[in-house]
Structure 1
Amino acid sequence: MTVWVQAGDDLILAVRLTPGASKAAIGGVWTDEKGAQWLSARVTAVPEKGRANGALIALLGKYLDWPKGAISLESGDSNRLKRLRIRGGAQPRLIATIEKQVELT
Protein backbone atom coordinates (compact mmCIF):
# COMPACT_ATOMS: atom_id res chain seq x y z
CA MET A 1 0.00 0.00 0.00
CA THR A 2 1.05 3.57 -0.46
CA VAL A 3 0.08 6.96 0.97
CA TRP A 4 -0.92 8.35 -2.43
CA VAL A 5 -3.12 7.42 -5.37
CA GLN A 6 -3.20 8.92 -8.82
CA ALA A 7 -6.46 10.60 -9.89
CA GLY A 8 -5.94 11.68 -13.49
CA ASP A 9 -3.24 14.35 -13.46
CA ASP A 10 -3.64 14.83 -9.70
CA LEU A 11 -2.44 12.95 -6.65
CA ILE A 12 -4.56 12.22 -3.61
CA LEU A 13 -2.31 12.12 -0.56
CA ALA A 14 -3.35 10.46 2.73
CA VAL A 15 -1.90 12.31 5.74
CA ARG A 16 -2.14 11.79 9.49
CA LEU A 17 -1.69 15.22 11.04
CA THR A 18 -0.47 16.01 14.54
CA PRO A 19 -1.26 19.66 15.32
CA GLY A 20 0.35 21.64 18.14
CA ALA A 21 3.72 19.89 17.74
CA SER A 22 6.95 21.46 18.96
CA LYS A 23 8.25 21.62 15.38
CA ALA A 24 6.79 21.12 11.92
CA ALA A 25 7.93 18.05 9.99
CA ILE A 26 6.88 15.45 7.46
CA GLY A 27 8.14 11.90 7.39
CA GLY A 28 7.33 8.32 8.15
CA VAL A 29 4.17 6.31 7.84
CA TRP A 30 1.35 5.61 10.24
CA THR A 31 -0.75 2.50 9.60
CA ASP A 32 -4.34 2.38 10.84
CA GLU A 33 -6.21 -0.65 12.18
CA LYS A 34 -7.46 -1.49 8.67
CA GLY A 35 -3.92 -1.54 7.26
CA ALA A 36 -4.23 1.76 5.37
CA GLN A 37 -1.06 3.85 5.34
CA TRP A 38 -0.92 7.57 6.03
CA LEU A 39 2.03 9.95 5.65
CA SER A 40 2.87 11.39 9.07
CA ALA A 41 2.96 15.17 9.40
CA ARG A 42 3.32 17.53 12.35
CA VAL A 43 2.59 21.25 12.48
CA THR A 44 2.99 23.78 15.26
CA ALA A 45 -0.39 25.40 14.53
CA VAL A 46 -3.34 24.58 16.76
CA PRO A 47 -6.43 22.83 15.38
CA GLU A 48 -8.68 25.89 15.56
CA LYS A 49 -10.45 27.66 12.70
CA GLY A 50 -8.53 25.72 10.05
CA ARG A 51 -5.10 26.91 11.23
CA ALA A 52 -3.59 23.42 11.37
CA ASN A 53 -5.00 22.54 7.93
CA GLY A 54 -3.55 25.73 6.46
CA ALA A 55 -0.20 25.02 8.10
CA LEU A 56 -0.25 21.48 6.66
CA ILE A 57 -0.89 22.77 3.14
CA ALA A 58 1.92 25.33 3.51
CA LEU A 59 4.28 22.64 4.87
CA LEU A 60 3.47 20.25 2.01
CA GLY A 61 3.99 23.04 -0.51
CA LYS A 62 7.43 23.71 0.96
CA TYR A 63 8.51 20.06 1.22
CA LEU A 64 7.23 19.18 -2.24
CA ASP A 65 8.33 22.45 -3.85
CA TRP A 66 4.79 22.78 -5.17
CA PRO A 67 2.46 25.81 -5.16
CA LYS A 68 0.30 25.69 -2.06
CA GLY A 69 -2.57 27.01 -4.16
CA ALA A 70 -2.48 23.68 -6.02
CA ILE A 71 -2.96 21.69 -2.79
CA SER A 72 -6.44 21.41 -1.30
CA LEU A 73 -8.12 19.50 1.48
CA GLU A 74 -10.41 16.79 0.08
CA SER A 75 -11.56 15.33 3.40
CA GLY A 76 -10.74 15.35 7.10
CA ASP A 77 -11.36 19.01 7.91
CA SER A 78 -11.70 18.33 11.65
CA ASN A 79 -10.02 14.92 11.76
CA ARG A 80 -6.37 13.89 12.12
CA LEU A 81 -6.73 11.70 9.03
CA LYS A 82 -6.84 13.85 5.91
CA ARG A 83 -6.86 13.42 2.17
CA LEU A 84 -5.34 16.20 0.14
CA ARG A 85 -5.52 16.74 -3.61
CA ILE A 86 -2.33 17.91 -5.29
CA ARG A 87 -3.41 19.31 -8.63
CA GLY A 88 -1.05 18.43 -11.46
CA GLY A 89 1.00 16.37 -9.03
CA ALA A 90 1.12 13.08 -10.93
CA GLN A 91 4.73 13.66 -11.94
CA PRO A 92 7.69 11.36 -11.31
CA ARG A 93 9.62 14.09 -9.43
CA LEU A 94 6.78 14.75 -7.02
CA ILE A 95 6.03 11.07 -6.47
CA ALA A 96 9.72 10.42 -5.73
CA THR A 97 9.75 13.25 -3.17
CA ILE A 98 6.68 11.81 -1.42
CA GLU A 99 8.19 8.32 -1.40
CA LYS A 100 11.37 9.71 0.17
CA GLN A 101 9.31 11.26 3.00
CA VAL A 102 7.51 7.94 3.50
CA GLU A 103 10.83 6.19 4.07
CA LEU A 104 11.75 8.54 6.95
CA THR A 105 10.96 7.00 10.31
Structure 2
Amino acid sequence: MENPAHYEWQGEDLILRCRLQPKSARDEFSEILDGQIKIRITAPPVDGKANKHLIRFLAKQCRVPQERVTIMSGDTSKQKRIRIRAPQTLPEGLKLTSASHQSKD
Protein backbone atom coordinates (compact mmCIF):
# COMPACT_ATOMS: atom_id res chain seq x y z
CA MET A 1 0.00 0.00 0.00
CA GLU A 2 1.34 3.43 -0.93
CA ASN A 3 2.16 5.88 1.85
CA PRO A 4 -0.49 8.66 1.73
CA ALA A 5 1.82 11.23 3.38
CA HIS A 6 3.72 13.68 1.20
CA TYR A 7 6.99 12.84 2.97
CA GLU A 8 8.85 10.07 4.74
CA TRP A 9 12.11 9.72 6.60
CA GLN A 10 14.85 7.31 5.57
CA GLY A 11 17.29 7.63 8.44
CA GLU A 12 18.36 11.29 8.45
CA ASP A 13 17.15 11.87 4.88
CA LEU A 14 13.82 13.51 4.09
CA ILE A 15 12.01 12.11 1.05
CA LEU A 16 9.38 14.47 -0.40
CA ARG A 17 6.64 13.66 -2.87
CA CYS A 18 5.84 16.87 -4.68
CA ARG A 19 4.01 18.31 -7.63
CA LEU A 20 5.92 21.13 -9.27
CA GLN A 21 4.18 24.18 -10.70
CA PRO A 22 6.70 26.09 -12.84
CA LYS A 23 6.31 29.67 -14.13
CA SER A 24 4.61 30.82 -10.92
CA ALA A 25 4.62 34.36 -9.58
CA ARG A 26 6.87 33.37 -6.64
CA ASP A 27 8.72 30.45 -5.09
CA GLU A 28 6.61 28.89 -2.34
CA PHE A 29 5.19 25.77 -0.78
CA SER A 30 1.48 25.38 -1.45
CA GLU A 31 -1.25 22.91 -0.53
CA ILE A 32 -1.06 19.15 -0.10
CA LEU A 33 -3.11 17.16 -2.60
CA ASP A 34 -3.21 13.39 -3.15
CA GLY A 35 -0.16 12.72 -1.01
CA GLN A 36 1.99 15.38 -2.69
CA ILE A 37 2.97 18.87 -1.64
CA LYS A 38 2.62 21.43 -4.40
CA ILE A 39 5.72 23.59 -4.83
CA ARG A 40 5.44 26.70 -6.97
CA ILE A 41 8.58 28.08 -8.57
CA THR A 42 9.25 30.97 -10.93
CA ALA A 43 11.50 29.11 -13.41
CA PRO A 44 10.09 27.79 -16.70
CA PRO A 45 10.06 24.05 -17.48
CA VAL A 46 12.69 24.42 -20.21
CA ASP A 47 16.11 22.73 -20.47
CA GLY A 48 16.06 21.57 -16.84
CA LYS A 49 15.71 25.13 -15.48
CA ALA A 50 12.73 24.23 -13.30
CA ASN A 51 14.55 21.26 -11.75
CA LYS A 52 17.67 23.31 -11.02
CA HIS A 53 15.55 26.07 -9.51
CA LEU A 54 13.63 23.56 -7.39
CA ILE A 55 16.90 22.15 -6.02
CA ARG A 56 18.17 25.66 -5.18
CA PHE A 57 14.87 26.55 -3.50
CA LEU A 58 14.74 23.39 -1.35
CA ALA A 59 18.43 23.65 -0.43
CA LYS A 60 17.93 27.24 0.73
CA GLN A 61 14.76 26.39 2.67
CA CYS A 62 16.38 23.41 4.43
CA ARG A 63 19.76 25.13 4.86
CA VAL A 64 21.81 22.48 3.10
CA PRO A 65 24.22 22.61 0.14
CA GLN A 66 22.55 22.01 -3.22
CA GLU A 67 24.53 18.77 -3.57
CA ARG A 68 22.43 17.29 -0.73
CA VAL A 69 19.16 17.76 -2.66
CA THR A 70 18.54 15.21 -5.41
CA ILE A 71 15.64 14.32 -7.67
CA MET A 72 15.04 10.59 -7.15
CA SER A 73 12.31 10.28 -9.79
CA GLY A 74 10.24 12.48 -12.06
CA ASP A 75 13.08 14.33 -13.77
CA THR A 76 10.86 15.21 -16.75
CA SER A 77 7.53 15.17 -14.90
CA LYS A 78 5.71 17.62 -12.66
CA GLN A 79 5.40 14.82 -10.09
CA LYS A 80 8.71 14.23 -8.34
CA ARG A 81 10.35 12.41 -5.46
CA ILE A 82 13.09 14.48 -3.83
CA ARG A 83 15.74 13.40 -1.32
CA ILE A 84 17.11 16.02 1.08
CA ARG A 85 20.10 14.60 2.94
CA ALA A 86 20.09 15.54 6.64
CA PRO A 87 18.14 18.83 6.42
CA GLN A 88 19.30 21.40 8.97
CA THR A 89 15.92 23.18 9.06
CA LEU A 90 12.41 21.94 8.37
CA PRO A 91 10.49 24.86 6.83
CA GLU A 92 6.99 25.38 8.14
CA GLY A 93 5.72 25.44 4.57
CA LEU A 94 6.56 21.76 4.15
CA LYS A 95 3.78 20.97 6.65
CA LEU A 96 5.67 18.19 8.41
CA THR A 97 4.28 16.92 11.69
CA SER A 98 6.71 17.70 14.50
CA ALA A 99 6.18 14.32 16.14
CA SER A 100 7.53 12.45 13.12
CA HIS A 101 11.15 13.63 13.31
CA GLN A 102 13.19 16.18 15.18
CA SER A 103 14.99 18.98 13.35
CA LYS A 104 18.76 19.14 13.76
CA ASP A 105 19.79 22.52 15.19
Amino acid at match of 2:6: V
Q: Out of 8, 11, 16, which is 1:8 matched to?
A: 11
**Runs of 4 or more consecutive aligned structure 1 residues displaced over 2 Å after TM superposition:** none
CA distance in 2, matches of 1:71, 1:102: 15
Q: Which runs of 5+ in 1 are unaligned?
A: 32-36
RMSD between superposed Cα atoms in Å: 1.7
Judge conservation of contact 1:29–1:102 (CA < 8 Å) in 2.
no
Q: Percent identity?
A: 33
Give me the TM-score of the superposition, normalised by structure 1. Answer: 0.76
1 or 2 for the larger relative contact order (CA 8 Å, sep ≥6)?
1
TM-score, normalisation: structure 2: 0.76
Count how many residue pairs are aligned between Structure 1 and Structure 2.
92
Q: Which structure dedicates a bigger proportion of its chain to helix?
A: 1
Unaligned runs of 5+ in 2: 96-105
Map 1:48-63 to 2 at 5 A: 48-63=46-61
